Amino acid sequence: MRHLLDTKTLSREDALQILDVAEDMGDTQRREVKKLPTLRGKTVVNLFFEDSTRTRISFEAAAKRLSADVINFSAKGSSVSKGESLQDTAQTLQAMAADAVVIRHSASGAPRTLATSGWISAGVVNAGDGTHEHPTQALLDAFTMRKRRYGADSRGRDLEGLRVTIVGDILHSRVARSNVWLLHTLGAQVTLVAPPTLIPQDVTAWPARVGYDLDEAIADAPDALMMLRIQAERMNASYFPTEREYSRCWGLDPERFAALPRSTMVMHPGPMNRGLEICAEAADSPRSTVLDQVTNGVSVRMAALYLLLAGERPAPVDHDSDAK
Ligand code: CP
């Protein structure tokens, strides 16, 4: 794998390889092997033009656990605020011999531009671009669903037949787009539920069903219910329902949470607007995977960096020899 830019073009084979390597990485973390030497001498640059907590920190943790050197760059406080272009920023990184660049950018397509422009020779990982895609988020979500479904027996498995409902601001959500493509590739059935004004026009080309009624979706007893953040910062108030209306019609409130089957996983990529799209009872319940998603994000990002920079699946962890 040379770059990880989206899930729309990610093959089933590559997706399963990332998930399986992430299982291996998770095993090393559970065994409290704090660091693996595999990326010693490599440099990973985290290039964040938009705010992030989970993604930036987990890419940094992932790279450090693989013994790579990490350079963190955020647009705030950099020469980007003086008008420096993406090309000049990228060429500066090239001069610093970056081996991988993890980029988050407000412009959809910025990671692909970086990967294909010839400005840099590094592998590029998309950490979220505009309203386009957030592939490592979808991979960690799929990893989390697979783990809840199959436990220690997850390796090599896809998500055939899993019924996943994604609720909320689909229009602005790169997480929704990446999840729809990846879940489809892995055999899951996806339903999107949102106010009509927050469904993108091209949704008819997506491999997903569309609905507008959250109560109907809950009565359908999905295996996973993924609540999305309302992205007020990308929204024009004229097409957004009021917060009160949104919460009443599309929020996972205590009554709706009580109506969900006990087997349904409650997911959220974070950051959450508690009380708007999800209530505390749901977010903090044992059925919530919110913190598992964060933990699994480190394993999945270790796997992505490993496959980009080392190129092949590492040897399986030998638990027996470790115990001797
Ligand atoms: N889920 C996610 O991308 O969170 P951050 O914006 O905090 O990275």
- Cα–ligand 1 centroid distance for 134 (angstroms): 9
Strand pairing class (163-167; 224-227): parallel
Residue 269 inside a domain? The answer is yes
Q: Which two tokens stand for residue 194?
A: 């949102």
- Same-domain status, 153 and 171: yes
Q: Which residues, listed in sequence order, are joined to residue 274 by a DSSP beta bridge?
A: 278
Q: Is the beta carbon of 272 within 6 A of some atom in ligand 1?
A: no
Buried b (16+ CB within 10 A) or exposed e, 155-189: eeebbeebbbbbbbbbbbbbbbbbbbbbbbbbebb
Quickly list H helices, 103-172.
110-116, 135-150
Measured from the Cα of 128, ligand 1's closest atom is 3
Measured from the Cα of 269, ligand 1's closest atom is 1
On whether 270 is known to bind a ligand per the annotation, the reply is yes
Measured from the Cα of 127, ligand 1's closest atom is 3
- Same-domain status, 122 and 259: no
Closest CA to 54 of 296, 251, 288: 296
On whether 174 is known to bind a ligand per the annotation, the reply is yes
- Same-domain status, 32 and 71: yes
Q: In whole angstroms, what separates CA 245 from the centre of its chain?
A: 28
- Same-domain status, 86 and 202: no
Ligand 1 pocket test: which of 137, 228, 233 has the largest number of ligand atoms within 8 Å of its C-beta? Answer: 137
- Cα–ligand 1 centroid distance for 324 (angstroms): 40
324 residues of the chain, pLDDT tens digit each: 899 999 999 999 999 999 999 999 998 877 777 799 999 999 999 999 999 999 999 999 999 999 999 999 888 777 777 778 999 998 998 898 999 999 999 999 999 999 999 999 999 999 999 999 999 999 999 999 999 999 999 999 999 999 999 999 999 999 999 999 999 999 999 999 999 999 999 999 999 999 999 999 999 999 999 999 988 777 766 667 888 999 999 999 999 999 999 999 999 999 999 999 999 999 999 999 999 999 999 999 999 999 999 986 555 545 444 433
Q: Is the beta carbon of 55 within 6 A of some atom in ligand 1?
A: yes
Residue identified by tokens 């693996």 is: 36
- Same-domain status, 269 and 209: yes
On whether 83 is known to bind a ligand per the annotation, the reply is no
Half-sphere exposure for 321 (CA within 13 Å, toward CB) = 3
Q: Which two tokens stand for residue 324?
A: 């001797």
- Same-domain status, 45 and 153: no
**ω before 314 within 30° of 0 (cis)?**
no
On whether 137 is known to bind a ligand per the annotation, the reply is yes
Secondary structure E strands in the chain:
43-48, 69-74, 100-105, 123-129, 163-167, 189-193, 209-211, 224-227, 265-267
Would you state the pLDDT for residue 231? 84
On whether 204 is known to bind a ligand per the annotation, the reply is no
Would you state the pLDDT for residue 297? 98
Q: Which two tokens stand for residue 157?
A: 């498995």
**Nearby residues of 166 by Cβ (< 8 Å), 6 or more positions away:** 176, 179, 180, 190, 191, 192, 193, 208, 226, 228
Residue 297 inside a domain? The answer is yes
What residue type is assigned to position 9 of the chain?
A: T
- Same-domain status, 162 and 260: yes
Closest CA to 160 of 14, 303, 12: 12
Q: Is the beta carbon of 179 within 6 A of some atom in ligand 1?
A: no
- Same-domain status, 127 and 175: no
Residue 2 inside a domain? The answer is no
Residue closest via CA to ligand 1's atom 6 equals 52
Tell me if 234 sits within 8 A of 200, measured CB to CB: no
Would you state the pLDDT for residue 295? 96
Tell me if 307 sits within 8 A of 16, measured CB to CB: no
On whether 94 is known to bind a ligand per the annotation, the reply is no
Written as one string, the DSSP assignment of 119-132 is: S--SEEEEEEETTT
Phi and psi of 278, rounded to 5°? Answer: -150, 140
Nearest-angstrom CA–CA distance, 192 and 126: 23
Would you state the pLDDT for residue 316? 53
Find the farthest-apart pair of alpha carbons in the chain and give their distance in angstroms, rounded.
65
Q: Full-prediction pTM beyond 0.90?
A: yes
**End-to-end Cα separation, the chain, in angstroms:** 35
- Same-domain status, 158 and 225: yes
Q: Is the beta carbon of 269 within 6 A of some atom in ligand 1?
A: yes
Q: Is the beta carbon of 231 within 6 A of some atom in ligand 1?
A: no
Reduced to 3 states (helix: H, G, I; strand: E, B; else coil), residue 285 is coil
Residue 19 inside a domain? The answer is yes
Residue closest via CA to ligand 1's atom 7 equals 53
Q: Is the beta carbon of 128 within 6 A of some atom in ligand 1?
A: yes
- Same-domain status, 140 and 288: yes
Written as one string, the DSSP assignment of 173-185 is: -HHHHHHHHHHHH
Count of structural domains, the chain: 2
Buried b (16+ CB within 10 A) or exposed e, 55-83: bbebbbbbbbbbebbbbebbbeeeebeee
Query: Domain of 301?
Result: 12-133+293-312
Which CATH number is 183's domain given?
3.40.50.1370
Measured from the Cα of 53, ligand 1's closest atom is 7
